[in-house]
Structure formats: C-alpha cells, structure tokens
Amino acid sequence: MPEQTTTPSAAGSAIDPRRASSASRDTAGASGDRDARDAARRDPESAAERTLRRRRLLTGRGAIMIYALLGTLLVCALTVPRFASVQTTGFLLLDAIPILMIAMPMALVIITGEIDLSVASTAGLTSAAMGVLWAAGWGIPEIFVVCVLIGIGCGALNGLLVTAIGLPSLAVTIGTLALYRGLALVVIGDNAVADFPPALTSFFTSKIGATGIPTAMIGVAVIIAFFGVLLHFSSFGRTLPAIGFSKEAASFVGVHVGRAKFWMFVATGVVSALVGIYWTLRYSSARSDNATGIELAVIAAVLLGGVSIFGGRGSIPGVVAGVLIISSVSYALRLGGISDVVLNVVTGLLLVGSVVTPSLIAVVREKRRTRRAARDVLAASAADAA
C-alpha cells in the first residue's frame, strides 16, 4: 500500500463513529453549563448559513402563501364595504373551520403521496350517528366518544385497504366516499335531528368576547398546532416528506411506511369525525347529507397551499393560508353581493393558476435553455464541418 495514499490520521479520526456518537450523546445528554458552553462554541452555523436559512424561510412557498393571504385580506378590506369588521372574522371563520380542520391531516396524507376523498362522507356518517344516538337518549360525552371511534374506524378501513392490501388510495376512497355516505343514510335515513341542547349549539356559534373569533377556533388552533408541530418539528414528521418523495428512501432509514400512512388515514378519519360533530352542532341539525362535497374544496385548498400532489412537499402554514385565502375571497364576494357563480371560477383559477404558473415558467425556461444550447451546438458543428 503506497504510503502517500493512506489517509493522514487526522481525517481518519475525524470520522471515528465512536467519537462522533459520544459527541452527539453529549449534546443529547441532560443539561449542565458545559453543554451550553460547548454548544455555543460548537454551534457550527455561520452567520452566512443563518442568513441563508432565514431567507429560505421567508421565500418558501409557505411564506409566499402567507403574503398572498395578507394581500388578499388587504384588497378585500379596501374594496368590499364592511369587510374589515369583527363580524367578518366570526362568520368567515365559522365557514372556514370544517375545511381548515380537515385540510390539516389531508395535507399530511397528500405529503405522503396518498389522497383521501372520503372525508366529507366520514363527517356525514358521524353527524348521522350523532343524531340517532341523541334521539335515542344518549349523553353528549358518550356520543362524542362514539363519534371519534367512528372516525377512527373509517380512517382505519381506508388505511388498511391502502397500506395492508396496497390498493391505490384514490380508488379506495372513491369507494368509501360512497360507502360512508351510504351508511349515513342507513343510519339516519331521511330524518333530521335538531333538538340538541341549545347551550351546546350556541357554544359552537359563540365568539370569544368582542374579538369576533369563534370560540371553536380554540379547538381548531389546537388541531393546527398539533399537525404543524407533528409535520415540522417531530421526528415522525421528518419522515412524511421522505415517504412522499420515495417510499424506498424512507424504508431504508427505518421508516415503517405502511404504518405511518395508516396513522395518517386514521388521523384524517378522526378530524373528519370532529368536523361531523362541529357541523351538526353549528347548524344544530344532524342529517345524512351534512358536509356533502367538501372533499374537493379541502383538496383544492391544500393544493393551493403549496402541497405537491405527488407528495414530498408542503407546509402547514401554507395550507392554513391556502384555506383562508379561499374563504376570504368567497366571503368577500358574497358580502360584495357577487354570486357564488363567480366564486367557483375564482376558486378554480386560483388552483389552476397556482400550479400552472410556476410549472409553466420552469418549462419555458428549460425549453429556452436547451434550445439555445442546441442552437450553439449546431452553429459550432456547422463551423467545424465547414
């Protein structure tokens, strides 16, 4: 073995895993000022790094969506009379809550590369069950428990069919979309149950003091925070984009891909069930057709919020902004006396525009680049051939 190619020992010891791991164990270890000092000394992030990280944070898709939301709100407030009011906050959020809630787990499901179309049906089934149980004299706490169990069940069935049997989630959830809505009809038929305790129903339309913010938003905020932390700060959340990017890459680092997806479907089921409860009590009406059709609105909002339909990319702040943009625009249009007709077109244009524009720019840029290169090569070849 020639001397000069063997590693200088410095480089060798640098990669000593034992040393490295003991170092990381140090930092993992409890407290002590030695640790803090070490960290301060060792925190490797240079100023340049930090700026870059911040800049990426401020120019990411999530950030852009937040700017877009602020812009939307500003334009609405300036152009639509009465938009800038406390009442708007209340009504707008009350309408947005179901979409906002389901969009959270849906974002995670789509980030892992799957989709769930059965969410609205799950909410409908929950609502139906709630009505029947209430009419049968059950107590509210028990009913809530049953509702959540229904959500778990619906989500688990989707999850099992997708992960254990390996069926495509798009097809599976079209099936369960029909099935769960059908079961809602079976459960409650054409009846409507409306005599929920007024104290409870008025709670769901009540506002926090004079802020105009619905009290229910507290719960919704908890849900948003939960999924935000789960996706962005938890070790589990680290694996979700990896799953969406490549199942293989994820399983190589020990991610239980099937298990993770399964739980995401269950989470979607549970949140859908909560939406079923919210819907029932907000409108004080338990019916089989509650929340019909909101699945597409949820997906539209999630995609607008910057989640890639192929999986692997997306952020919770972006999705929240996406939902709120659509809700604000729709509320502003209604308040401005513009028909829902326009709203449909606006929603569609937002969705199509938000995905087509960046992609089109990239395609055009790439085309231009290769065309220019090709032209250069052609010219050079011609010159050489001559």
Site for other proteins in 78-117 (CB under 8 A): 81-82, 85, 87-88, 91, 94-95, 115, 117
Of 49, 221, 222, 368, the residue at the interface with other proteins (CB under 8 A) is: 49
Measured from the CB atom, the residue of 32 and 81 that comes closer to other proteins is 81
Task: Please work out, in degrees rounded to the nearest 5, the angle formed at the alpha carbon of residue 373 by the alpha carbons of 368 and 375.
Answer: 95
Measured from the CB atom, the residue of 36 and 145 that comes closer to other proteins is 36
Strand partners, 214: 207
Q: Which residues contact 186 (CB under 8 A, 6 or more apart)?
A: none
Among 173, 160, 166, residue whose Cα is nearest residue 116: 173
Assess 134 for contact with other proteins (CB under 8 A).
no
Q: Where does this chain touch other proteins (CB under 8 A) — which range of 132-140, 146-154, 260-268, 356-364?
A: 356-364
Assess 211 for contact with other proteins (CB under 8 A).
no
Q: How far is CA 197 from CA 129, 214, 282, 284, in A?
A: 16, 19, 12, 9
Assess 377 for contact with other proteins (CB under 8 A).
yes
Strand partners, 286: 193
Assess 1 for contact with other proteins (CB under 8 A).
yes
Assess 343 for contact with other proteins (CB under 8 A).
yes
Assess 262 for contact with other proteins (CB under 8 A).
no
Assess 265 for contact with other proteins (CB under 8 A).
no
Amino acid at 366: E
Least spacing, CB of residue 120 vs other proteins, in Å: 11
Of 58, 164, 236, 368, the residue at the interface with other proteins (CB under 8 A) is: 236
Q: Cα–Cα distance between 62 and 248 in angstroms, integer?
A: 27
- Assign 214 to helix, strand or coil: strand
Among 305, 302, 357, residue whose Cα is nearest residue 66: 305
The interface with other proteins within residues 163-192 (CB under 8 A) comprises: 165-168, 170-172, 174-183, 185-186, 189-190, 192
**Token couple for 240:** 């979700």
Measured from the CB atom, the residue of 39 and 145 that comes closer to other proteins is 39
**Token couple for 337:** 């006396």
Least spacing, CB of residue 201 vs other proteins, in Å: 7
